[in-house]
Every structure is written in C-alpha cells, then in structure tokens.
Structure 1
Amino acid sequence: MLEVTPFLTAQVTKFRCGGFTVGIAFNHCMFDGTSLMNFMNSWTEIARGRPLSLIPRHDRTIMKSRVPPQITGTSDSFVHISDVSDLKALYEEEQIVWKSFHFDNQKLATLKKMATTDEQIISSCSSFVALAALVWRARTIALKMKPDQLSKLLFPVDLRSKMKPPMPGYIGNAVKACCLCTAGELIDEPMSFTAGRIQEAIERVNEDYVWSWIHSLDVYQFDLLSLTSLVLVSWQRFDYGSTDFGWGKPRTLGTGDLSPGCLFMADGSEKGGIVAVLVLPLLAMNTFEKLVQLE
C-alpha cells in the first residue's frame, strides 16, 4: 500500500478486440470533478496536437484561507451527527451492493411535477433538485433511520462561477452545499418541501459562503464519510463524451468507490435522461428500488 496518495495515476488496459480503457485515480485534495474533466479534455487535445481550449489556473494561493480564519456564516456541513440508528453495524453485517437506476425524461417530468405540487414552497425546479429529493428520502426510509436521526444531504457546488471575478480553468476543489434535518422530518414532509430545502441550499452558495466554508475547514472537522449523510455528486453537465485521444469518443464512463454516496450521470442519449448510481446494503437496496419506481 502506498503511504502517500499520488496526485494522479493513470492506467491503460488494452483488450484483444482492439479497444482499451483509461483508468484514472486522483487525490481529491487536488481536484474536484470539474478540474479532472478539464484536465482529461486538455490531455486529449494535446494528444491530438490541438491547442488548449481552456488554459488551466494552477495558483492555489488565490483561495488560501486567511489567518485567523474568518467565518462569517455557518454551514450545516460541519455539524457533527451521532449514528443513533447504528448504520455502521448494518453496513458491516450485510452485503454491500451497487445498482444504477435510469430516469428518462418522462420520469423526470413526473418527479418535477411532484416536487412543485405546492407552488407556495417551490414553483419550479431542475431535474437535479427533484431527483435529489427523491433519492435522499428513499435512502433514508430504506436504511430504516430512527425518526430523531439527523441526516445531511451534501453535494458539491462549483465555486468558480461564484467568485468575483469568476475563475474559469481554476484547478482546485468545490465547496459543499448542505441540507440538514431529522429522518422523521424528511420522511413526513411532502416532496415539495424537500425540494425547497435543496433549492435554498443551492441559492445560499455565494462568494461569502465559499470563503466561510474554506475557513471552516481550518476550524472544524468535516466528516465526509458519515453513513447518516448522503453525498450526492452530479456529472450531468460534464463533457466526458469529448474525451477523444484520437481514436474516437468514449463508449462509456464509470466511477470508483461511492460509499456512502450517489452519482448522477447523463444517460448518453440525446433525450437527456439521468442515471443514478447508488451503493447500499442488500436489503436496503431492495427497499430503495421499490421506493423509486414511478410507474
């Protein structure tokens, strides 16, 4: 085992059919998903002898926290949560399984209608917000969390567009937007209320939020891997279909370990569906699958 995680490693595996895969592992302290995708597409442009379409910005000092840290606002991201539902034992005792769920345009339209039923709470929302509300609630029920169990929904927000001036090409990391409530609240409230929570969390992320979040990292411990929380990552807008080393566009894209998270990916079709990839204990996964059926 390596004592120090490399910044980046890559492996090419060739197959007898003539195809190949490119496997990438990276240190998340260096990259977020946007940084990595920009790196991959720049790599392929160089391989094809083309000029870089986006010049990378490697100066990390522009986002360096101040001394002393200046926390102007609080973020629920750093609230400590006790595992009163004993999810740790559940994950240790049961088989852990991965599964993907496809939501086509019709299903996404149904979800958005469910999420905006009460227009006094939220009148419109994106497919991401509606699907995130469904997945967070269904996972909470499937894991049989106790009503007083606090649960977070955490999802990265690209800080580049939130800064003044914006920072296109910045090689760094994202901040996390966060929703926090009890499992009982999440299960009992209408989906429109949950969607409203998520929409508000997105809208809170501005330049002040970014700086406060960065400074909070210096003061508080950020428990990204708490089983009581759902870390949701969206690759819907990533242009991984353009990662062409000269042999054509990729046929498919996969990911590594997600526990305890969920990944949203574009389904690759022109119609714009979403594939949600999730990891759960076996019995919880069976329950989750029933809860997200929209037929």
Structure 2
Amino acid sequence: MVESSMVKVLDTFRVLPPPPGSVPTVSLPLTYYDMPWLSCHNVQRLFFYEFPHPSLHFMETTLPMLKRSLSLTLQHFFPYAAHIMCPRSPDKPFIRYTEGDFVTFTVAESEEDFNHVVADYPRDVELLHPFVPQLPSEEVTEEGIRVLPILAFRVTVFPNSGICIGSTYCHAIGDGKSFMHFMRSWTSVCRSGATDGDLILENSLPMINKDVIKDPAGLELAYLKNYWHWVSSRGENSAPTKDIPVDKVRATFAFDQARIERLKQLVTTGDTEQSHISTFVVTCAFIWVSLIKSKVTPANNLSNNDDDDNKFYYFMFPSDCRNRLEFPVPSTYFGNCLKPCIVNVKKSELIGEDGIVLAAKAIGRTIKEAKRSGLEWAENPGSAIIERAITGRLTTIAGSPKLGVYDTDFGW
C-alpha cells in the first residue's frame, strides 16, 4: 500500500466479538464456491461520508460507538474475525475461529482536500491508496499451515470535512452480498446506539452453515485440485501480488436517469427478442463498447487486420446464485455463492454502428441463461475464464447495484 506524508496514523485497535466466550471455537469448511477466491486479490472498498467536525470530536464521540457497534456485529459475523487455515496438500483449506481472534481497526488523519478525494474528475490512480487498510501479515505454523487474516478496517478523518471508512477482506470468506449484509448490520447497530446487537440484528442474522451448499456433481474435488495446482505454481508461502500502475488516472462516470432511459430506448426499439434490458444491462453495454473503442486509434487501427475484427471479445460479470440452484440457499447465507457469466461478441460488431445494442442484447441473454442453467457452468472450473483472460480481450466488472453499497448509512 502507498503511504502518504499527508496521512498520519493516530491509533490502532483490535476489535473482538463481545463478551469473552460468546463465540465458541469453531471450524468451517470452504466450499467449491469459496476456494477459487483464494488465488484472487483481496477486496478493497472505501466508504466516504461528509463529517464537518474536527478530529477531536470524532475521537471522543464517534469513534467509541464505531468500535462498540463493530464489536457487537462481529458477535454474529464472527468469521470476519477468524483466519483461513491452509494446510499442506492434500488437505483442504478451512476457516478457523478461536476466542481472542480480532479485526484490525486503524484510525488515521489526512490533510488531503476531501472534495478533491471524492471528486468525479480524473485524479492520480494512487490518490486513494493511503486510505485502504492492509491486512496483517500471514503466518505459518510449525505444522506448515498458512494462516491468513481475513478483514481489516481503516478510518481516516479529514478534519472538518469528511470521513473515509476503508475495508480490505479476503474474498474466500464471502462474496459482496455477505460483506454488505455485515456492513448494513454494523451501520444499523451504530445508528441505534444500542449496547446489545441482538436487539437490532435478530431479524437479519447471517446463516453461517456451509452444509447448505450441496455438491451433486462432485465439483469440490476439481476445485481443490485447481487450488493445489495454483499453490504449487506459486509456492506455498507466496501471496497474490498486484503492480500499481504509475501512469494511470481514476475517474467516476455518473449516469443520470435520462441517459439510462435513452439507452434503454435505443436497445429496445424494434426488439423482437423481448430481451432482458435493465439499467445494469445498458450501463454494462455502454462501458464495454466504450472501453474497446477507446483502444482503437487511427495509428493502431491501420495495423489491425480483419483477423482482429473477427475475434471474440469477452465481458464477464458475477451472478448471485442464492435461490437459483437445484438446492435451496437462503438470501442470508454467509459465504460465496457467485456464478461467473461470460458474454462473447465479435469486435467488429461491438465497434460497429449498433455495438451498444448488440452488446446489451448479448448481456441480457446471458443473464436469462444464468437463471436457468444451475451448476452447468462449473463442469470445467475456471478453464473458461482462464482461456479468455490470456487473450487480453476480457473485460470484467465486480459488484452489483443490488448490493446497495450507497445505502451504507452510519447515521451521519
């Protein structure tokens, strides 16, 4: 993580589920939905809030409730305070919670201009990195078991202007729906000022039971083999690394309702397929086509030939499988339950006059198929993604509007 001279760490805490003994020592297996994420980068999210108060006010009034409400929430979402245990081959990785496990919670202060940090216009790609927490270093036991931390928070105060709550977590513990369930629970306890999280969360407790994920096709063995192949190719003590681009900018592009409606009309005009056309579909189509066109310049277009125009380009997005499988998985299930959906369209069609229309209809068809196809996607786990990724023609997105990230309200 890039540190900035304009960000100063004020304190670091360990937040545990209360009270001692409230959560017993427990081990949870990783399912075949969880294991593929062990080889992926950690998930990082930043939540920004206006907060027109000095740092001292935050430290004395807001911070104690943030820590207390987080502790109460972890009593029910205890896997986030646990560790992922990765034994040597051929044993299977699992989640292990032991009394005393905690979430690292860092408090910092920034001299950056809050309005500049949260602006939509392009800014240096490294600007946001100092607000992202680092997970504690992984450890290796005497038995050779790798012990992976799962979650860390970093709260950065911008005096008299704002707050950033940064999170980093291991995706193998759960998907975006599980994490946002946890965040909404934390915010509800914080807003209420409650001293007993049970009173607030009793109607929305996570279902922490891996037995609900069935394996009628015997997929777990295939995923476990993939995991051990990845470990052997990287070395057991190595973690995924990610180069930080130094010549990039980051920007936000906001679509208002009027633009969304125009895109929908463009796609649905003359549509005889009755395609699945939603805000998500037309936004993804617009982004995908725009990204591909942005790489087509007069210089490189002259060097391109018909072969490239006739090649398939790929777009991948996640689909939540809860309540869509052959076996019931409740919406409050804690863990990963995502299906990767991949769309294939030729480049010549995407950059053509009707590129957005064709992209939107292809994405819509893929969503419809995902709702019908059950577990068929996993018969050859990971291979479809890898094959497309190595072509350099795969665009992926993460998250979903249904996660309600922008509704994360601590009451400020």
Q: TM-score range by the shorter chain?
A: 0.5 to 0.7
Correspondence for 1:188: 352
| Equivalence for 1:220 | 383
Determine if contact 1:12/1:21 at 8 Å carries over to the other structure. Answer: yes
Aligned residue in 1 for 2:200 = 51
Q: How many angstroms does 1:39 deviate by? A: 0.7
Amino acid in structure 2 at the alignment position of 1:25: T
**Contact 1:56 1:169 survives alignment (8 Å):** yes
**What is the rounded CA distance, in whole Å, between the counterparts of 1:240 and 1:181 in structure 2?**
30
Pair 1:172–1:124, CA change in 2 (3 A): closer
Aligned-residue identity in percent: 25
Structure 1 segments of 4+ aligned residues over 4 angstroms from their partners = 91-94, 224-227
- Partners in 2 of 1:44 and 1:123 — Cα distance? 37
By how many angstroms is 1:230 displaced?
Answer: 1.4
Instruction: Provide closer, same or farther for how the CA distance between residues 196 and 189 of structure 1 changes in structure 2, counting only shifts above 3 A.
Output: farther
Q: Deviations over 1:18-70 (max 9, x none)?
A: 75322111111222211111011112334442421312112234325456439
CA RMSD across the alignment: 3.2
Distance 1:69 1:165, change over 3 A: closer
Name the structure 1 match of 2:340. Answer: 176
Is the partner of 1:51 in helix, strand or coil? Answer: helix
Conservation of the 8 A alpha-carbon contact between 1:155 and 1:232: yes
**Which residue number in structure 1 is paired with residue 251 of structure 2?**
99
Alignment deviations for residues 264-290 of structure 1 (CA, whole Å, 9 cap, x no partner):
xxxxxxxxxxxxxxxxxxxxxxxxxxx
Distance in 2 separating the partners of 1:123 and 1:112: 11
Residue of structure 1 aligned with 2:282, choices 123, 130, 134: 130
SS in 2 for 1:56: coil
SS in 2 for 1:206: helix
Give CA-to-partner distance per residue, 1:74-99, whole Å, 9 cap, x none: xxxxxxxxxxxxxxxxx999932222
Structure with larger Rg: 2
* Partner in structure 1 of residue 403 of structure 2: 238
1:229 partnered with 2:386? no
The residue type paired with residue 112 of structure 1 is: K
Range that drifts further, 193-202 or 227-236: 227-236
Shift of the 184–61 alpha-carbon distance from structure 1 to 2, 3 Å rule, reads farther
Corresponding position of 1:152: 314
Aligned-pair CA distance for 1:198: 0.8
- Structure 1 unaligned spans of 5+: 71-90, 250-295
- TM-score, length of structure 1 as denominator length: 0.65
Name the aligned partner's letter for residue 183 of structure 1: K
Question: Are the structure 2 counterparts of residues 61 and 185 from structure 1 closer, same or farther at C-alpha, using a change threshold of 3 Å?
Answer: farther
Distance 1:189 1:216 in 2: 36
What corresponds to 1:17 in structure 2? 160
Shift of 1:154: 0.8
Kindly indicate whether the alpha-carbon contact (under 8 Å) linking 1:122 and 1:192 is maintained by their aligned counterparts in 2.
no
One-letter code aligned to 2:383? Y
Secondary structure of the 2:398 match is: strand
What SS does the aligned partner of 1:162 have?
coil
Matched, 1:114 2:266: yes
SS at match of 2:269: coil
Secondary structure, in 3 states, of the residue corresponding to 1:107?
helix
| 8 A Cα contact 1:152 1:178, kept in partner | yes
Q: 1:215 to 1:9 in 2, by over 3 A?
A: farther
Say if 1:57 and 1:170, in contact at 8 Å, map to a contact too: yes
Residue 169 (structure 2) aligns with: 26
- Secondary structure of the residue that 1:13 maps to in structure 2? strand
CA distance in 2, matches of 1:12, 1:207: 42
CA contact (8 A) 1:44 1:243 kept: yes
Query: Which deviations, in whole Å up to 9, do the C-alpha atoms of 1:242-268 show, x marking residues without a partner?
Result: 4344xx14xxxxxxxxxxxxxxxxxxx
Matched, 1:42 2:42: no
SS at 1:216's partner residue?
Answer: coil
Gap change, CA 1:243 and 1:106, over 3 Å in 2: closer
Rounded to whole Å, the distance in 2 between the matches of 1:135 and 1:24 is 26
Greater shift, 58-67 or 95-104, is seen at: 58-67
CA distance in structure 2 between the aligned counterparts of 1:213 and 1:124, rounded to whole angstroms: 20
Q: What amino acid does structure 1 have at the position aligned with 2:314? A: K
Aligned 8 A contact 2:276 2:364 in 1: no
**Cα drift, residue 112 of structure 1:** 0.6
Match of 1:161 among 323, 331, 355: 323
Is the contact made by 1:118 and 1:192 (CA closer than 8 Å) also made in structure 2? no
CA–CA separation in structure 1 for the residues paired with 2:385 and 2:250? 25
Question: What amino acid maps onto 2:358 in structure 1?
Answer: F
Q: What is the rounded CA distance, in whole Å, between the counterparts of 2:395 and 2:279 in structure 1?
A: 18
Question: Secondary structure of the residue that 1:177 maps to in structure 2?
Answer: strand
- Answer yes or no: is the 8 Å Cα contact 1:121–1:192 preserved in 2: no
In the superposition, the TM-score normalised over structure 2's length comes to 0.48
